[in-house]
Amino acid sequence: MSTIKVNELDTRSGTTITVAAGKTLAGTDIIGSTQIAANAVITAKILDGNVTSAKLAVGAGGTGWQAVVATNTTMSTGLGYFVNTTAGIITMTLPVSATIGDSVHVIDYAGTFDTNACTIGRNGHNIAGAASDLLVQTERAALKLVYVDSTQGWLLTEV
């Protein structure tokens, strides 16, 4: 991804910043109108005195939903996956690198997780504080995992 540096722009005067898909907006003192395309990432210093930085990943409609997955897949941050385990167990591997706030979604597409489980592969990160993969065996399960830190790793926020 390429980065658009805004600390050289006069963003305090109401400059409109447009961030294209696959681009990163990084800088400080971003004020005014910002148009963000799907799958853009923004990192900025926030001016409220309490928060020193923030990261926002934007996908289409909030989450970039992928076509139905029926094979083992390594997931990408900010994306959602409809997982079809009709033919057998599938492993959905978490991204290898993660920062606070990164998220992924997994949904049981065919209602078969109870017959053929979906394994969430930890890819070196903890899941809910444990150094083990997560086995999802609930029919019609839908879950969201959000990365918090190296101790807890990925936490479930929706089940």
**pLDDT at position 52, please?**
41
Q: Which of 114, 112, 103 is nearest to 153 (CA)?
A: 103
Q: Which of 11-15, 106-110, 124-128 has the lowest mean pLDDT?
A: 11-15
Strand order in the sheet with 79-83: 64-65, 79-83, 103-108, 142-149, 153-158
Name the percent of the chain lying above pLDDT 70.
60
**pLDDT at position 28, please?**
47
Mean pLDDT of 45-55: 44
**pLDDT at position 41, please?**
55
Return the sign of the alpha-carbon dihedral for residues 67, 107, 117, 122: positive
- Contact assessment for residue 118 and residue 99, using Cβ atoms and an 8 Å cutoff: no
Q: Which of 116, 150, 149, 118 is nearest to 134 (CA)?
A: 118
- The owner of tokens 């929706």 is 158
Q: Is the pLDDT of residue 51 over 50?
A: no
Kindly report the pTM of this predicted structure. 0.63
Domains parsed from the chain with CATH numbers: 2-58 (no CATH), 63-158 (2.60.120.640)
Both structure tokens of 76: 């990408």
**What φ, ψ does residue 60 adopt, rounded to 5°?**
-60, 120
**pLDDT at position 45, please?**
45
